[in-house]
Amino acid sequence: MAAQRRNIVISILFVVFGGPGITLLYLPLWITRFRMPAHEAAGQKLLAVTLILLGLVPLFEPIVRFIRIGRGTLVPTAPTEQLVVSGLYRYVRNPMYVGVLTVIAGEVLLFASRAMALYAVIVWLCMHLFICFYEEPALTRRYAEYYLAYKRSVPRWLPRLTP
């Protein structure tokens, strides 16, 4: 139980002050100053807020799964003991990254910002390179054939329709 509490604290701190917090809150604040255009269409705002809320689901659901099933965290220095392949991971290998990009797409619409659109592309490229050159090789070393089989059957970016 103490290990699970530690994993919860590490995960919360990482989300707020690490990758997700920096990517979804602090840098967009710096880029946009959270200024929305004065004449933004109501439909655009609704779509933006919908994307932001939808993007938070695949960001937070896997964190709970990492703690409970994987017995670890999303932080690379405190990884899971077991490979997590349930929940949203049955549809796409990187649901948290998909969630982050969905939130950023919502922010692009909400702030109607070209700079945020460029930021979205840069974030995707950084995540893609991180996945290809660090995360997937590390998971292959750690979980060997089990991860390779998972990798063959579940797409990296575009979720499949059936698990």
What's the CATH code, domain 2-153? Answer: 1.20.120
**What is the rounded CA–CA span in Å between residue 84 and residue 80?**
8
**What is the rounded CA–CA span in Å between residue 121 and residue 36?**
20
Q: What percent of the chain has pLDDT over 90?
A: 69
Burial class (CB in 10 A: 0-12, 13-18, 19+), 90: middle
Q: What is the DSSP letter of 36?
A: P
Provide the pLDDT for residue 29. Answer: 95
Report the phi/psi class of residue 36: left, alpha or beta, with left for phi > 0 and alpha for psi in -120 to 50: beta
For the cut 90, the answer to whether the pLDDT of residue 149 exceeds it is: yes
Q: pLDDT band for position 145 (50/70/90)? A: very high
Lowest mean pLDDT among 40-54, 68-82, 90-104, 129-143: 68-82
Provide the pLDDT for residue 126. Answer: 97
CB 23 within 8 A of CB 119: no
pTM recorded for the entire structure: 0.91
**pLDDT by residue (tens digit) across 8-59?**
888 888 888 888 999 999 999 999 999 988 877 889 999 999 999 999 999 8
For the cut 90, the answer to whether the pLDDT of residue 5 exceeds it is: no
Burial class (CB in 10 A: 0-12, 13-18, 19+), 130: middle
10 Å Cβ neighbour count for 136?
Answer: 17
Provide the pLDDT for residue 55. Answer: 97
For the cut 80, the answer to whether the pLDDT of residue 112 exceeds it is: yes
Sign of CA dihedral 72, 13, 94, 67: positive
CA angle 106, 98, 70 (to 5 degrees): 135
CA angle 25, 43, 33 (to 5 degrees): 25
Summarize the confidence of residues 144-158 as an average pLDDT. Answer: 96
Output the average pLDDT for the chain: 92
